[in-house]
Chains A and B, each alone.
Chain A
Amino acid sequence: MPAPPPNPLLEVRDLHRSFDEGRIQALRGVNFQIRQGEAVAIVGPSGSGKSTLLQLIGALDEPTAGDILFRGQSVRQLGDLARFRARMIGFIFQSFHLLPTLTALENVQVPMLEMPWPVAERRQRAADLLRAVGLGNRLDHLPPKLSGGERQRVAIARSLANEPQLLLADEPTGNLDSVSAGRIMELLRQIYRERGMTLIVVTHDPHVAGIAHRTLRMLDGRIAEDTAA
């Protein structure tokens, strides 16, 4: 096991999350730390609590007990979770979750509406991001006109829109064929390295786990194994 870093970006402390008045215990005391710039894969069988953990880290949900510290500060005490989500976190989902009526360029700009940027700057940033994910020629396409791999690229560009520090990906290749999946993983690896970001990927896919520095294996709501690649 790697030695715990002095100043972790993210620290998860004895995290619990139960549903249905305690009848379902999704997380039963999870502890780990992640350094700035790390790429971490969270693996494990369905129902082991991976996605619940990711949603708690992304401040989409609140823990029943325990705490998450971001740069040493408790997320619970942030108050404005929307601001935290908008500026610190980039989310990538298994089924892309793009808005069907908006073009690729517009989808990437949706999170930017929370930033004090003028319209022209938003547009420029979105176009730059789409070029960076290889979709420079698809700016004005609507999601239904794009392939699965292309949609996930738009979603990746959107997750980078507000220059977040932490990228959270929930089964990003789950809806893609193996060729597209390989390309998406390559893109993710390249992006988080170039931008000095921190990446947490929830996955079943051993290839996806292959790009990570470290793998957290979950079982029954706990970390069963924490291995460096």
Chain B
Amino acid sequence: MSFFTVVLKNLLRRRTRSLLTMAGIAIGIGAVVALASIAWGFQKSWERTYSARGTDIIVTKITSRSPLPAPFAESLKEEVRRLPGVQQVSGLLSDLASIEDAPTMLVFGWDLDGFLWEHLRLVRGRWPSNDTEKAVVIGTVAAEMLKKSVGDRVRIETEDFTVCGVFDSAALVENGAVVMALPQLQRVMEQPGKVNFLNIKLAPGTTAGQVEELRRTIKARYPGYNAFTGGEVAQHNTGIQVAKAMSWATSIIALVVGAVGVMNTVLMSVFERIHEIGILLAIGWRRSRIVRLILYESMVLSLGGGVAGIGLGVAAVKVMQWTPLMRGKIESEMNLALFGLALLIALGLGMLGGLYPAYRGSRLHPSEALRYE
């Protein structure tokens, strides 16, 4: 018989309680896995958006923390285009708009002659033909949400547009968006001559050092503006930061509840076993072995809960992605690092929850514990 056999048999003796405690941990860890994978997925999705667009550097105005950066004059585009190494610059205006019955959607206005269009794949219909046409293309997910297809009319703010095409993008964010010619959105949003992003494409073969150099040049030459690579924009995106903070806040609450559950269970089992701990001390167990017994019990509970929680979290995300309300809107990033982190957190909870009960158990006086019935 190994020491671990004693640990497992103690847990099996109180099977229902052990299972309920594990369920508590599983819910906490499940919340961590689900929320973290969605928050990370959200960020990944934005990063993919920029890489799919072929954008190397994005220029925005430094603004207070609104979800989208503030608009600025389009004329900056021509200046940036003349900087060394810049191949193309495409202006972009974006806003959040509620369109008909659908919840808030991203609406983009793009330069018709810009390179952004190149990464979209037209599924049906055609692209907007010129800057004056009151036409939009919509992503496949947006088409589903709005229940619109080619030829339908869609009302954006106060104006009606014709859907002239449906596209598919590698980026989930764009698939759920509406895209039109830049001047059209500038008029609808009452931002004439304004954009809030410049997408810069650099000449092929530009090194990372040259990208960094150009970023510094832009920041130095245009005070009040910032230049990022795609990944950085995703990291600094307020929406993403809020999503991450919310996911951690929710996770921490779930984890604290789980840890208190473990502590309660283990402490109760120590109080019930005072006499038994007395026997173990009487027949020669060291106090450190009593500490280990209790800590191991607590850690087995929380690790078991952690494994179950990963399954629960994965299942929860799959269910969310499948429900009509959420379909196509959430992308999740699940990987071994996340699962490893979840197990580490579970183990930490077990340690934390077991520490005090173990301390209490090891402080028992052998002869008093033996008298205790």
Contact = CB atoms under 8 A, between A and B. Distances in A.
A222 interface: no
Given A110-B6, A113-B3, A89 B284 contact: yes
Interface stretch (A8-16, A38-46, A53-61, A201-209): A53-61
B1 A109 contact: yes
A161 B280 CA distance: 13
Given A99-B276, A101-B10, A101-B12, A106 B1 contact: yes
B216 interface: no
Given A101-B12, A102-B6, A111 B284 contact: yes
Nearest to B370: A60
A186 interface: no
Interface in B243-283: 275-276, 279-283
Secondary structure dominating the interface of A: helix
A58 B2 contact: no
A224 interface: no
Given A109-B1, A119-B1, A122-B1, A99 B279 contact: yes
Contacts of A89: 284
B293 to A, nearest CB: 10
Given A99-B279, A110-B6, A82 B1 contact: no
Nearest to A95: B373
B367 interface: yes
Contacts of B279: 93, 97, 99
A105 B1 contact: yes
Nearest to A114: B284
Contacts of A122: 1
Contact of A60 (B5, B13, B282): B282
Which of under 10, 10 to 19, 20 to 34, or 35 or more describes the interface residues of A?
Answer: 20 to 34
Interface in B1-29: 1-3, 5-6, 9-10, 12-13
A61 B6 contact: no
A83 interface: yes
Interface residues of B, number: 25
B285 interface: yes
A106 B9 CA distance: 11
Nearest to A87: B284
Interface in B274-301: 275-276, 279-287, 289
B1 A123 contact: yes
Interface string A38-80: 0000000000000000010010110000000000000000000
A61 B284 contact: no
A162 interface: yes
A58 B283 CA distance: 10
A109 B275 CA distance: 19
Contacts, number: 80
Contacts of B284: 82-83, 85-87, 89, 111, 114, 162
A158 interface: yes
Contacts of A110: 1, 6, 280, 283, 285
Contacts of B139: none
B91 interface: no
A124 B173 CA distance: 66
A2 to B, nearest CB: 30
A86 B285 contact: yes
Contacts of A85: 281-284
B286 A83 contact: yes
B285 A82 contact: yes
B306 interface: no
Contacts of A91: 282-283
B282 A58 contact: yes
Interface string A92-135: 01000101111001100111011000010011001000000000
B367 A60 contact: yes
Contacts of A119: 1-2
Given A60-B367, A60-B370, A101-B10, A114 B5 contact: no
Contacts of B281: 60, 82, 85
Contacts of B283: 85-86, 91, 110-111, 158-159, 161
Nearest to A98: B279
Nearest to A99: B276
Contact of B285 (A87, A100, A102, A113): A113
B361 interface: no
A61 B370 CA distance: 11
Nearest to B276: A99
15 contacts: A55-B367, A60-B367, A60-B370, A82-B287, A86-B286, A89-B284, A91-B283, A100-B13, A101-B12, A101-B13, A106-B1, A111-B284, A111-B285, A114-B289, A158-B283
Given A93-B279, A101-B9, 5 more contacts: A60-B370, A82-B284, A86-B286, A111-B283, A161-B283
Closest 8 CB pairs of A and B: A86-B284, A61-B367, A82-B286, A60-B366, A60-B367, A101-B9, A85-B284, A109-B1
